[in-house]
Structure 1
């Protein structure tokens, strides 16, 4: 399943001189232009793909700092990005028709992309401030230095290779190789440090279900984890491995049932059904969230259908809250890609969206993943559901659990639309295609409640 409006991306690269305030431009028939990488649309934070493309085409090692501009052509479905890069090859020299351009040079040049002149003028004048710490020159060196110190402190060796895996508004991720082992450094922006707190607490209680944490610095939003060996669950066609993951996840949630108050003190969002109901009208009247100007915008009849459903959804939240299944920890983003199938069992990664909610919401993403990844998806989904519900039989009969689960799954798209609106949209500035997710979730909600009226 592809969620992106764009089918192709054109990456315009602001490659900085290693020491001077100058940018690399290439002379073309239409004028001077930034270096460009053409690629299929992928994850908007895929820094490794960009760095690899720059290395292959230009022979330069770079770090991806941030996005300076983005645009989307709804006709051609080409996404235009302008990315700022940090030059990690100080001895590299451009060859004609490429050269370093300073602010003094820029005014006399004809640009192949005239719209880039204002952006480049501002960048060369130092007027493009970094939004996240990792968008600043020199930050990567400091992060790797901290990681190395922690690895030495734990006797885990010397870093031999660094690869930047992710760089976007929500985080940056580095893959560090030390000897035969891999480690992952992750940084998050201010206000999202809850991931470090939750990850550490889950690792303390259930270490077999999470990648080992080597170190963390909550104040800086830094975390260093050991890599785990095994394929992502999304690559595995054996439904039994998916059942094992669902069963293990249920056990994790049950383990946290009596610790909800402690979870909330860690800073996770409270999205229990009663809180969900209180956010319905605000979500369904947020025009820019429902129709952000992309391919999957909700149409007026769909928006009206959602607003008509509002009282039905509120009543369903009340019913779910009274259903006898306790609220607990939820991962909040349990796609199969966030489960690693190791020899010792499933390991769940990336807890940045952790929250307190009705537990049964959490399986929605895993079942969505099965829809695309497994043969006979409907039968596979039923098996995964039953494996997940098995540990919950201490709270209700299998029949009652299935009824509550079905209700929760019908409400789950509402839960994720609301949390996305509250937690993701406010910090989006570059990964604009993520704005499609609120309409995506709400369209699924309409389908789940087809025929219902207030």
Structure 2
């Protein structure tokens, strides 16, 4: 799907005033998602001066977004302060709301990185963490991406940059999961500098081979056997993952959560009458197939939960998997299905053939299991699994951010299409 360019309006505020250009409007820039480059939050935080977001980005309409930020140091070189009353009505209302929630009472599920003083606290923690490495910070946090589920920053030091990530409360176990993985799979995950479990902060060395357009298909082929071996090895330390907080997402947990999503997710109100009828008929069949996958004889293992090209660094020979927000314990073929879809999108091959190729190490590791049937079932079950993921996200993040709008509806329609095709 082609994503159209958007105009990003940046309202710099000191809590009482807003900075505007000479024409009396907040400055703006155009962000083209198809062109790559910095995220909108990265550009907005540096457009005028060193700034941090006050609130999540506001969707003004299909092609316009508003980012409200406050300066950490310095004033812009051009433009001037003005009273918010001089802004257009829609922008004024949003700026005043952002200011009120930033310095007052934030809405439910708003992450800490929109709180006053958060960046200062992070930098103090980083400074202390860097002491043991013989490095020191040489500048303020540089925004890479900030949104409803995470804040990712580049940290300049006197020996090159390091990377910082904070996760929202919905993904509160991510830091502890990363610490566990770093102990057992140091060659496959980011190299950890420091971790703060309680606040879910992770400081890591930079990754070689991260591409804004995602890793190439060769990376998936390189990763597939390594990842299968890592998942098999994780059987020896699943208890450590559980203690770290990795959620168990087995067959019954998945089905219970899926039924809940079908009953309560408001996105599904958009289904047509025919789609609703088809879904009612599909539910018993889907439940049977989910249970059948788990009955094929493969154990639950470590899973990334969102193993696509954008979460893999590839330097031409080595791979590292990052972004462990969805890390969990579940059926290993779900990660394999993601790798297969990645390859299918790259070269247009048949998805089931790619699933079989990617998951081949499992046939040798568990010769008594029903490999062929599990390969057939995994893509459908992955749609159920991802529906649960996005339904829970919608419940666990701040309402109104619209970061994941439409995901549950899209996945449900894909599931209906898959069931219809199989019949």
Same fold at TM > 0.5: yes
Task: Determine the C-alpha separation between the residues in 1 that align with 2:58 and 2:190.
Answer: 35
- Matches for 1:265-414 after TM superposition, within 5 Å: 265-291=243-269, 298-342=271-315, 345-372=318-345, 374-378=346-350, 382=353, 385-396=356-367, 400-414=370-384
Partner of 2:296, secondary structure, is: coil
Regions of 4+ moved over 6 Å: none
How many pairs are equivalent?
418
* TM-score, scaled to structure 1: 0.82
1:230, 1:341 within 8 Å by CA — same for their partners in 2? yes
Structure 2 residue matching 1:62: 3-state secondary structure: strand
| Correspondence for 1:230 | 209
Say if 2:11 is the partner of 1:34: no
Contact 2:337/2:355, CA 8 A, preserved across alignment: no
Out of 37, 40, 46, the position equivalent to 1:49 is 40
Shift of residue 55, structure 1, vs aligned partner: 4.4
Alpha-carbon distance in structure 2 between the residues aligned to 1:205 and 1:51: 33
- State the alpha-carbon separation in 2 of the partners of residues 355 and 385 from structure 1: 23
Closer, same or farther: CA 422–52 of 1 in aligned 2, 3 Å: closer
> Residue 413 and residue 123 in structure 1: after superposition, are their counterparts in 2 closer, same or farther (change >3 A)?
closer
Residues 50-449 of structure 1 mapped to structure 2, 5 A cutoff: 50-52=41-43, 55=46, 58=48, 60-67=49-56, 69-72=58-61, 78-95=62-79, 99-102=80-83, 106-107=84-85, 109=86, 111=87, 113-123=88-98, 126-127=103-104, 129=106, 131-160=110-139, 162-179=141-158, 181-232=160-211, 237=216, 239=218, 241-291=219-269, 298-342=271-315, 345-372=318-345, 374-378=346-350, 382=353, 385-396=356-367, 400-449=370-419
C-alpha deviation, 1:184, in angstroms: 0.9
Please list every run of 5 or more consecutive structure 1 residues that lacks an aligned counterpart in the other structure: 73-77, 292-296
Q: Give the match for residue 14 of structure 1.
A: 11
Structure 2: 5+ residue runs without aligned partners?
none
Cα deviations across residues 277-332 of structure 1 (Å, max 9, x unaligned)?
223332223351324xxxxx543322331221111111112212211100111101
Superimposed CA distance per residue, residues 197-236 of structure 1 (whole angstroms, 9 cap, x where no aligned partner):
1111111011111111111111122111111222449655
8 Å CA contact 2:135, 2:157 repeated in 1: yes
